[in-house]
Amino acid sequence: MSDNLEHVKCLIIGSGPAGYTAAIYAARANMSPVLYQGTQPGGQLTTTNEVENFPGYPEGITGPEMMVELRKQAERFETDVRDGWITKIDFSGDVHRVWVNEEKEILCDTVIISTGASAKYLNLPSEQKYLQLGGGVSACAVCDGFFYRNQEVVIVGAGDSACEEAHYLSKLCKKVTMLVRRDEFRASKIMEARVKNTANIEILFNTETEEVLGDGSVVTGVKVKNNVTGETQVIPATGFFVAIGHKPNTDIFKDFLELDSVGYIKNVPGTSKTNIPGVFVSGDAADKVYRQAVTAAGTGCMAALDAERYLAAKEAFIEA
């Protein structure tokens, strides 16, 4: 077989908790997994400064450190972890075909998709600065709200997820200021009522973020503007949460896999199976509800077990 053509039992697309957990289980099942890390090795967790809610780390751990440890554990069982990303796929045959960096072709008996989802941000320079510094910008209240206990925070968003995260933060923080760009919510009435009836949540309608303020290390406030009156004000805050949605990294699969209206891969309930036999999904590429490292790891385990059983059943059929 040429250098530009390879055959593997199990290909894992994407790293992060889902991909690395799938690799650990697949490797231990003698499936000789090959894992391509993708454009963001380690996934979303590499942008998280502190992880305190993953079991087994009583003192906490940074996201990048956790991903290094997961990679080492996968490699301990001889997972072949590679740089590069998948640029083309063909799931139309019994053997699935993928192309890496538009050059190398791989024939795969099974494929586990762990490409995750990317949080949407406002893409303000100041927002990105403090996001990269790990100094007060977050897209996950459940992940990071704990660090802002008894402090004042700002959250941007108007949908159900934004309302849910604002309500979650209200239980931890002294005050939550919610910025809604329009003059109404996009959320369901019950979620809207929940935030409106929470005493320490202040809602500012027709309000947009102009700048995230800080001291060069951490967030100290948010400059906002009323898009009707033009009036600006500075809101003191130590945390800035963005809850305007996520985009699953699944565009490359849309011609072969069933996706929902947003782009999340549909799986058979209770399994990691997709509509294509031999193709499985784990982590945030299919999960728009929980989006936690521990749940992603769990579905990575499921995907590897499902892939192993798929291969075993296929081999038993051939032998019969």
DSSP E strands in the chain: the ranges are 5-13, 34-36, 80-82, 86-90, 96-100, 104-113, 117-119, 137-138, 152-156, 175-179, 201-204, 207-214, 219-226, 232-236, 239-242, 246-248, 279-281
177, two tokens:
């200021």
**Do residues 286 and 295 lie in contact, with contact meaning Cβ atoms separated by under 8 Å?**
no
218, two tokens:
């951490």
Residues 6+ apart with CB under 8 A from 224: 179, 204, 207, 208, 209, 210, 232, 233, 234, 235
**Do residues 161 and 155 lie in contact, with contact meaning Cβ atoms separated by under 8 Å?**
no
Using CA atoms, how far residue 74 sits from 89, 114, 155, 286, in Å, is 25, 15, 37, 22
Active-site hit among 10, 108, 109, 140: 140
Helix, strand or coil, per DSSP, at residue 297 = helix
Question: 10 catalytic, yes or no?
Answer: no
**Helix 293-319 / helix 16-28 crossing angle, nearest 10 deg:** 40
Residue with tokens 């699935």: 96
Active-site hit among 143, 163, 173, 287: 143
CA distance 63 to 68: 9
Active-site hit among 109, 144, 287, 306: 144
When computed from its CA atoms, the radius of gyration of the chain, rounded to whole angstroms, is: 22
CA distance 55 to 51: 10
Question: 173 catalytic, yes or no?
Answer: no
Question: 140 catalytic, yes or no?
Answer: yes
The DSSP secondary structure of 103-155, one letter per residue, reads TEEEEEEEEEE---EEE-----HHHHHHHHHTSSEES-HHHHGGGGTTSEEEE
Maximal C-alpha separation, the chain? 76
- Residues labelled catalytic: 140, 143-144
